[in-house]
């Protein structure tokens, strides 16, 4: 069944208090959601058990992961293998990205 998720990837105002995650879709093979971090906040995520793809939708930050330390912004796409330590740093402007987990995300 096809579905449309209006607003997926948009910065979520609730992130002003702390980084915010909202899941939009889940199937047997993957899950998709939006991760938002307000300007100046710390990204406190820990490695996940699933492979991840981030598609930056808004904002500017620095991405640090195994072998990577780069500035990212809208249109940047990042792959992170399951279990790899990674995070967004120096969040300069309100930041949001679509996140695709495969298989579907589970609690770490």
**What pLDDT was estimated at residue 107?**
65
Give pLDDT, residue 74: 98
pLDDT of residue 1: 81
pTM above the 0.85 mark? yes
Q: Which domains does the chain have, with CATH numbers?
A: 13-102 (2.60.120.10)
Q: Which residues contact 104 (CB under 8 A, 6 or more apart)?
A: 26, 27, 28, 29, 30, 31, 50
Q: Divide the 108 residues of the chain into consecutive groups of 10 and give the mean pLDDT of each group.
A: 92 90 95 96 93 98 96 98 97 97 85
Predicted pLDDT at 32: 97
Count CB atoms within 10 A of the CB of residue 17. Answer: 9
pLDDT of residue 66: 93
């Amino acid at each position: 069944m096809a579905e449309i998720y209006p607003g997926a990837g948009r910065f979520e105002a609730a992130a002003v208090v702390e980084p915010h995650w909202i899941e939009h879709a889940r199937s047997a093979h993957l899950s998709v959601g939006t991760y938002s971090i307000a300007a100046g906040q710390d990204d406190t995520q820990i490695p996940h058990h699933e492979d991840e793809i981030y598609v930056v939708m808004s904002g500017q930050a620095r991405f640090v992961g195994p072998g990577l330390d780069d500035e990212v912004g809208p249109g940047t796409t990042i792959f992170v293998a399951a279990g790899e330590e990674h995070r967004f740093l120096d969040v300069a402007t309100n930041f949001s990205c679509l996140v695709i987990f495969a298989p579907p995300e589970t609690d770490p």
